[in-house]
Amino acid sequence: MTITNAVRLLKQSNIPFDLLSYPVDEQDLSAQNVSRKINYPLSSIFKTLVLETDTHQHVFAVISGEEEVSLKAVARTASVKKAHLVPMKELKKLTGYIRGGVAPIGAKKSFPVLLSDSALNQEFIIISAGKRGLQIKLAPDDFLRFTNGILFINR
């Protein structure tokens, strides 16, 4: 089994999870492609976006593969005026992760985690394990508790 920071931290905390792996297609890192490859519905695949607020705070927005992020909803939840996606070239320096492998757990720096309320409809959510081709399947409640995450209404 591949041990990433996310996997190691969840194991140390005795959080129950399953590890799912799939062959990576560098040309298609989409949630839709991950959903097809691991054979789980798109609604259960959650992607991690890194955003920066107008107060220069960074946050992880974790949203379903079926959703687009609402920058207004992120800003409202973070109690700021505006938020924007961090440019891809800054991801590795900021989080230690690359596009298609950004995990909200075990990043270089710890940022607030905002989880879309669509997760409440799911028995489990599937997030990146911090490496392309590796996903973590866990209960939304366990994820929120572990990350001290905040639910947000992504609209």
Helix, strand, or coil here: 143? helix
Alpha carbons within 13 angstroms on the beta-carbon side of residue 51 total 27
Give the per-residue pLDDT at 2: 73
* pLDDT tens digits, 22-81: 999 989 999 999 999 999 999 999 999 999 999 999 999 999 999 999 999 999 999 999
Q: What is the pTM of this model?
A: 0.96
Structure token digits, residue 87: 């440019």
* pLDDT tens digits, 99-128: 999 999 999 999 999 999 999 999 999 999
Query: Is pLDDT at 146 greater than 70 in this prediction?
Result: yes
